[in-house]
Amino acid sequence: MPDHRVILHLDMNAFFASVEQQANPELRGKAIAVVGGGGRTVITTSSYEARARGVKTGMAVWEGKRVCPELIVVVGDNRKYTYTSTRINEIFREFTPLVEAFSVDESWLDVTHSLSIFGSAETIAYRIKARILHQFGLRCSIGIAPNKLLAKLASDMKKPDGLTVIAPENVARILEPMPIQELCGIGKKMQRHLNMMSIYTCGELGRCEEGRLTRKFGIVGRRLKQMGQGIDESPVIPFGEEDAVKSVGHSRTLDRDIDDPAEIRRFLLQLSEMVGSRARRYGVSGKTIHLYVRYADFFSSWGKQTTLKSYINRSDEIYRAAISILNTVALEQPVRLLGVSISGLKHQADQLPLFEDERKKLWATQAMDTVNQRFGDMVVTLGSLLPDKESAGSHVIPPSWRPDGIKNIDII
DNA sequence: TCTGGGGTCCTAGGACCC
DNA sequence: TCTGGGGTCCTAGGACCC
């Protein structure tokens, strides 16, 4: 038994693009980009062939084609990715029950107690790589380290198809010259702030006097110093033991900017239905409704929220709350993006309402949900909804996605 | 012809209550 | 005359992650 934890972080390489290349042999070896389905979509993932030509995540499609004219654009199909991800996570659990999915294509494994069975962490890593390649034709990068922070750092150090070990005795040497922005949790703004304090490397961050960091960043300062030192005690949290979901939301960039109030309301109704049906599927109700609007100029936006007296999850109730927020605002520009979300969630079994018309609404909702769960979302919708012309695969998979689909919520 | 979508956590200030 | 403090809930906004 080692005197430290042994954590693997596993990162599927160009996951969506690789899955598409496996599904369609004609795409293999070619520059491809996976995109969402909307009219103003960006590149979600691209194959390594495309990356070599300068294609980057987040680029508009036209931009990707400009830098790489032979780029093949594929509309993503989330069912493929979630199916594959679920199967891959099942492989992980053959090696340890302590598997935490960070996103659809990244997981941590705590194999501390598996070493006596399988040998070394490297052995486990190679066996996992071989299984994933054999079963799915996919490659991954794996980092091995004494904690999650360092394992993730390690898996990033060699791509694609990498295997990187950060042994406890090498932590200080590896971190000393490592740029701070390589650490998961230090983004652009934090990097800029730290750089202004003349802190560029993890070595410098780890040596920084804690008071200097806490005076500037508050409680986060303490954590920053630890990160610079490669300290991370956070446990690998296995399936079913995550915190319950805290909010459910949908937003959509419209194909064109709109300022027609009726059109805006129709879109809000559609978003409310998406939010409501998912909340009901999770068996949660919420009392705070958020509305988010981004204007045509892209940079100006606002969000407003309202907290109700009771918990709701019916689509028409969510819609009504969103509209009441909208009515408090005079729109300044045409609208580019609309978002609706619900928070302040609690798990709630359906109770039969007291009044006849409320009972009818509940039954209608349940009948609609049943059909939609069987045949896919938005087959049956409220009367005034626009037809949803976007494919089932057009949505990007949220980071909170779990292989069982739902985070620690009982399905009724 | 620019720039997606789904989340989490943290902070700050005001209202309100005891 | 002078004027509390802690806790909780709420809104708004920012940073970060994939």
Which nucleotide has the shortest C1'-to-CA distance from A298? B3
Q: Are residues A375 and A280 in the same domain?
A: yes
Smallest CA–C1' distance to C13, residue: A303
Mean pLDDT, residues A384-392 taken together: 39
DSSP alpha helix (H) spans, A167-312: 171-175, 188-196, 202-207, 210-217, 219-229, 261-282
Q: Are A182 and A153 in contact (CB under 8 A)?
A: yes
How is A277-299 classified by DSSP, letter by letter?
HHHHHHTEEEEEEEEEEEETTSS
Q: Are A156 and A143 in contact (CB under 8 A)?
A: yes
Give the model's pLDDT for residue A77.
Answer: 94
Does the residue A409 lie in any domain? no
Q: Are residues A47 and A91 in the same domain?
A: yes
Q: How confident is the model at residue A2 (pLDDT cuts 50, 70, 90)?
A: confident
State what percent of residues in chain A have pLDDT above 90: 82
* Crossing angle of the two packed helices A15-23 and A78-92, in degrees rounded to 10: 100
Q: How confident is the model at residue A407 (pLDDT cuts 50, 70, 90)?
A: very low
Q: What is the pLDDT of residues A316-333, one digit of tens each?
A: 999 999 999 999 999 999
Q: Are residues A42 and A155 in the same domain?
A: yes
Q: How confident is the model at residue A402 (pLDDT cuts 50, 70, 90)?
A: low
Task: Estimate in Å the CA A343 to C1' B15 gap, whole number.
Answer: 21
Q: Are residues A160 and A12 in the same domain?
A: yes
Mean pLDDT, residues A2-30 taken together: 96
Which nucleotide has the shortest C1'-to-CA distance from A40? B4
Q: Can you give the residue range of the structural domain that contains A59?
A: 1-166
> Which distant-in-sequence residues (6+ apart) come within 8 Å of A66 by Cβ?
none
Smallest CA–C1' distance to B11, residue: A218
pTM score: 0.89
Quote the distance between the C-alpha of residue A229 and its chain's center.
Answer: 27
Number of domains observed in the structure of chain A? 3
* Pairing mode, strands A163-165 and A140-145: parallel
Q: Are residues A4 and A145 in the same domain?
A: yes
* Angle, CA A251 vertex, CA A245 and CA A257 arms, to 5°: 170
Q: Are residues A272 and A221 in the same domain?
A: no
Q: Are residues A120 and A219 in the same domain?
A: no
Q: Which two tokens stand for residue A344?
A: 């302040």
Give the model's pLDDT for residue A389.
Answer: 35
Does the residue A241 lie in any domain? no
Please, which positions of strand C sit below 7 A from a protein CB? 9-18
Does the residue A16 lie in any domain? yes
Does the residue A403 lie in any domain? no
Q: What is the pLDDT of residues A249-277, one digit of tens each?
A: 999 999 999 999 999 999 999 999 999 99
In this model, does residue A411 exceed pLDDT 50? Answer: no
> How many angstroms separate the first and last alpha carbons of chain A?
42
Q: Are A247 and A345 in contact (CB under 8 A)?
A: yes
Torsion region of A365: left, alpha or beta (phi above 0 gives left; psi -120 to 50 gives alpha) = alpha
Q: Are residues A30 and A94 in the same domain?
A: yes
Which nucleotide has the shortest C1'-to-CA distance from A106? C18
Helix, strand, or coil (residue A378):
coil
Q: What is the DSSP letter of A411?
A: -
In this model, does residue A44 exceed pLDDT 80? Answer: yes
Smallest CA–C1' distance to B5, residue: A396
Task: Estimate in Å the CA A59 to C1' B2 gap, whole number.
Answer: 9
Task: Estimate in Å the CA A6 to C1' B18 gap, whole number.
Answer: 50
- The CATH number given to whatever domain includes residue A203 is 1.10.150.20
Does the residue A252 lie in any domain? yes
Q: Are A263 and A271 in contact (CB under 8 A)?
A: no
In this model, does residue A210 exceed pLDDT 70? Answer: yes
Task: Estimate in Å the CA A303 to C1' B14 gap, whole number.
Answer: 18
Does the residue A406 lie in any domain? no
- Mean pLDDT score of chain A: 90
Please, which positions of strand B sit below 7 A from a protein CB? 1-12
Active-site positions of A read 106
Task: Estimate in Å the CA A235 to C1' B17 gap, whole number.
Answer: 39
Report the C-alpha gap between A324 and A154 in whole angstroms.
Answer: 49
Does the residue A396 lie in any domain? no
Q: Are residues A158 and A208 in the same domain?
A: no
Does the residue A254 lie in any domain? yes
Q: Are residues A74 and A196 in the same domain?
A: no
- The CATH number given to whatever domain includes residue A153 is 3.30.70.270
How is A64-80 classified by DSSP, letter by letter?
HHHH-TTPEEEE--HHH
Q: Worst-scoring range by mean pLDDT, A36-40, A141-145, A174-178, A232-236? A: A36-40
In this model, does residue A384 exceed pLDDT 60? Answer: no
